[in-house]
Amino acid sequence: MASRPHDERVSDIGEFSLIARIREWLGTAGPPVVLGPGDDCAILAPTPGAELLLTTDEQAEAVHFHRDWLAPEDLGFRALSSAASDVAAMGGRPLGAVVALGLPPDARVAEVRSFCAGLRAAAADLGCPVAGGNLSGALGGWRVVTTVAGEAAAGAAWRRSGARPGDALWLTGFPGRAHAGWRAVAEGLRPSAAGVAEALAAFRRPVARFAAVRALSGAPIHAALDLSDALSRCALLLAEASGAAVALDTHGLLSDPAAAAVARALGEDPLEYALHGGESYELLLAAPPGALDHAAGALASSGLPLRAVGEVRREGPSVLRTPTGTQPLEPRDFAHFTGGMDSEGVGE
Amino acid sequence: MASRPHDERVSDIGEFSLIARIREWLGTAGPPVVLGPGDDCAILAPTPGAELLLTTDEQAEAVHFHRDWLAPEDLGFRALSSAASDVAAMGGRPLGAVVALGLPPDARVAEVRSFCAGLRAAAADLGCPVAGGNLSGALGGWRVVTTVAGEAAAGAAWRRSGARPGDALWLTGFPGRAHAGWRAVAEGLRPSAAGVAEALAAFRRPVARFAAVRALSGAPIHAALDLSDALSRCALLLAEASGAAVALDTHGLLSDPAAAAVARALGEDPLEYALHGGESYELLLAAPPGALDHAAGALASSGLPLRAVGEVRREGPSVLRTPTGTQPLEPRDFAHFTGGMDSEGVGE
């Protein structure tokens, strides 16, 4: 075809050439990958005796994201980091990922290259090499299904179901910041406006919290999950799985200057961002009061807040405690198929 | 909604209700699954010291299949079996799978239930439990990305790259039978016509060849892969990866009465089915001449042929040996994006 390189489409070069280029763009996967892309399976070397953690996650154009809002490089970064976040949420360490990429025939080769650069950047940041994948034509836009394998010592993975009455609830980072980033992009806030750069970074390049997992190694974590379904729903999921209730304090949820600035610029409520905004990959943890103080200190010095945001109670209802009183804690987040609020604003 | 149960759509019941039902339909995953669906990750217990095998595969409506040709139950069976086939092709055993399912909002709940029944049937047949997954809305039809984790003793996985000059090439089963099944369905052959029932079963319910892997335990397999890219291309991939060439004999490829009957009914060439037909999950193996005779005998008594179909040579070109002479071995199979021959007849 006579396309200029800039305009080259995947239909111009075909599946097998594209696979060869993708391998080159991804580079060689290091340990624990024993054998990377190119055979029937990837081979990875887990720690003998460890348990395997397995999780799969999808990002589909017009369902989970719009391409105006997310450059291909950010999509690659986000696809890997958001899937790996589930391994962090179990207190595990990543072994490697396989990525099933669906592309429309008119996708630009240069976009696929950028996507791979994003994958590679996330793989390096997370220590989670891309060990293999699958390439397919796709109707209806780009889609990425990322499956991450991780590991944890036998019996040591953090489940949702182990929270005990009296535990404190702890939260990493700023739960509403990614949602603020989406709001900033959806409403076209200037990148130079207050808080926008930080919020966009949280939305486009979420960081799976393996740094927190490492800092919490050996700590008495009773239960954990990540906030991919928004804090309000996730806190209720943890409560339900543990046969308990939770009380969340709004106090600790309003300390994010970036989300506050974006919300102020848009006349919106930063508490809504923190409670109901999706696309956040912070960790919610249950542990005895005070038990994480030391880790919190260590993480604070590296720039990642870890703060108590509530407590686990013996019985329901689960509540939100505000300066003016107590109210029921209720979920309000995106649900597929029924046209609920989409955390990224994309309806079905 | 006032839908009758038969007509109930996924948009009528929503994501969270559907997930609850899917978990019920799939049932409880047994060992080696330690923790099944419902947490951030599934937990599996590999054999200590084994290497992990990881593979991901996609089936997308209108790209890989038409729903007229494949009932939801067959789609579920095929999605798991075809992905698990890559673990068999490495000589591994399956640990478990995670399934990312994309559904259009108007998908029928009853179809999702049938899909789960197919997954469950394959999981039971293969010993590969479904340990988790992801549910998403999908534009452009149903899609399934299945990721299978398996294991093999450290250093023992069969790669593509180890074939040695002088090795015999061995093949399980009937490589053209699944393609015959697709041709039968695409051309509307009567199910009662000669060979059609066997061919349809091979197309709709392919069997990952773990029975062959078990029978070949300890055999000196130098290289292996499955035929998901068709025999002609796969033989060339094995040759290329091993720095060698191959000679395939047509003699051993024409012994399938079912494929022969379907080809005859359609006025087509059964050798084309065997060489270039896709969607076959038979195994192609390289091993010293005679080394697999014992396993072949054991497998024959259980109804699965394992026969020598050629040899590995030091140098190229790779060839096809027919009763009338020798010709170059060339691939001709489906490629995404460029509109090559689609093994299932679905263009881009």
In angstroms and rounded to an integer, the radius of gyration of the C-alpha atoms of chain A is: 21
| Cross-chain residue pair A136–B62, CB shorter than 8 Å | no
Closest C-alpha to A337, from A326, A325, A348, A322: A348
Measured in angstroms, the CA of B3 and the nearest CA of chain A are apart by: 15
pLDDT per residue as tens digits for the range A246-271: 999 998 898 899 999 999 999 999 99
Q: Which residues of B touch A160 (CB under 8 A)?
A: 38-40
What local confidence, expressed as pLDDT, does residue A205 receive? 96
A40 touches chain B (CB under 8 A): yes
pLDDT per residue as tens digits for the range B297-323: 999 999 999 999 999 999 879 999 999
Closest C-alpha to A42, from B91, B54, B226: B54
Q: Given a cut of 90, is residue B184 above it in pLDDT?
A: yes
A20 touches chain B (CB under 8 A): no
Measured in angstroms, the CA of A337 and the nearest CA of chain B are apart by: 5
Q: What is the mean pLDDT of residues B264-268?
A: 97
Residues 73-112 (B) with a CB less than 8 A from some CB of A: 85-87, 89-90, 92, 95-96, 98-100, 102-103, 105
- Cβ atoms of B270 and B263 within 8 Å: the answer is yes
CB A181: neighbour CB atoms within 10 A? 31
For residue A311, list its beta bridge partners: A168, A247
What local confidence, expressed as pLDDT, does residue A315 receive? 85
Distance CA B278, CA B346 (A): 12
Structure tokens that stand for B69 in this block: 């040709």
What pTM did the predictor assign? 0.95
Return the CATH superfamily for domain A14-40+49-152: PurM-like, N-terminal domain (3.30.1330.10)
What DSSP assignment string belongs to B88-100? Answer: HTTT-EEEEEEEE
Buried b (16+ CB within 10 A) or exposed e, A22-51: bbebbeebeebbbbbbebbbbbbbbeeebb
Residue with the two structure tokens 């592309």: A103
Q: Which residues of A touch B335 (CB under 8 A)?
A: 14-16
Q: Given a cut of 90, is residue B340 above it in pLDDT?
A: no
What local confidence, expressed as pLDDT, does residue B348 receive? 25
Question: In A16-79, where do the E strands start and end?
Answer: 33-35, 42-44, 51-60
| Cross-chain residue pair A137–B348, CB shorter than 8 Å | yes
Q: What is the mean pLDDT of residues B249-256?
A: 92
A54 touches chain B (CB under 8 A): yes
Model confidence at B342, pLDDT cuts 50, 70, 90, reads very low
Parts of chain A belonging to CATH 3.30.1330.10 = 14-40+49-152
- Cβ atoms of A55 and A87 within 8 Å: the answer is yes
Parts of chain A belonging to CATH 3.90.650.10 = 168-328
Structure tokens that stand for A294 in this block: 């030391």
Q: ipTM value, please give it.
A: 0.94
For A168-328, the fitting CATH number among 1.10.620.20, 3.90.650.10, 2.60.40.3140, 3.40.630.10 is: 3.90.650.10
For B17-152, the fitting CATH number among 3.30.70.260, 3.30.1330.10, 3.30.200.20, 3.40.30.10 is: 3.30.1330.10
Q: Do the strands B245-249 and B283-287 form a parallel or antiparallel pair, or are they unpaired?
A: unpaired
A161 touches chain B (CB under 8 A): yes
What local confidence, expressed as pLDDT, does residue B28 receive? 93
Nearest CA in chain A to B51: A45
Measured in angstroms, the CA of A192 and the nearest CA of chain B are apart by: 35
- Give the CA distances from residue A251 to residues A102, A309, B92, in Å, rounded to whole numbers and listed in that order: 43, 8, 52
Which residues, at least 6 apart from B261, have a Cβ–Cβ distance to it below 8 Å?
A: B193, B194, B195, B196
Buried b (16+ CB within 10 A) or exposed e, B249-281: bbebbbebebbbbbbebeebebbebbbbbbbbb
What local confidence, expressed as pLDDT, does residue B338 receive? 58
Nearest CA in chain A to B95: A52
Q: Which residues of A touch B153 (CB under 8 A)?
A: none
| Cross-chain residue pair A131–B54, CB shorter than 8 Å | yes
What local confidence, expressed as pLDDT, does residue A65 receive? 87
Crossing angle of the two packed helices A196-204 and A257-266, in degrees rounded to 10: 110
Distance of CA B138 to the CA centre of its chain: 24
What local confidence, expressed as pLDDT, does residue B139 receive? 86
Question: pLDDT tens digits, chain A, 348 residues: what are they?
Answer: 455 667 899 999 988 899 999 999 999 999 999 999 999 999 999 999 999 999 999 999 988 888 888 999 999 999 999 999 999 999 999 999 999 999 999 999 999 999 999 999 999 999 999 999 999 999 889 999 999 999 999 999 999 999 999 999 999 999 999 999 999 999 999 999 999 999 999 999 999 999 999 999 999 999 999 999 899 999 999 999 999 999 999 988 988 999 999 999 999 999 999 999 988 999 999 999 999 999 999 999 999 999 999 999 998 799 999 999 999 999 985 666 654 333 333 332
Question: Quick one: what percent of chain B has pLDDT higher than 90?
Answer: 86
Alpha helices by DSSP H, chain A: 10-26, 72-88, 109-126, 177-186, 196-204, 210-215, 231-242, 257-266, 270-276, 293-301
What local confidence, expressed as pLDDT, does residue A3 receive? 52
- Give the CA distances from residue A129 to residues A80, A119, B34, B329, in Å, rounded to whole numbers and listed in that order: 10, 9, 25, 36
A1 three-class SS: coil
- Give the CA distances from residue B101 to residues B5, B26, B119, B296, in Å, rounded to whole numbers and listed in that order: 22, 14, 12, 38
- Cβ atoms of B254 and B273 within 8 Å: the answer is no
What local confidence, expressed as pLDDT, does residue B343 receive? 33
What DSSP assignment string belongs to B53-67? Answer: EEEEEEEEBTTTB-T
- Which of A21, A35, A43, A159 has the most B C-beta neighbours within 10 Å, making it the best mutation to test the interface with B? A43
Model confidence at B188, pLDDT cuts 50, 70, 90, reads very high
Q: Do the strands B245-249 and B319-322 form a parallel or antiparallel pair, or are they unpaired?
A: parallel
What local confidence, expressed as pLDDT, does residue A252 receive? 85
Residue with the two structure tokens 């003699």: B251
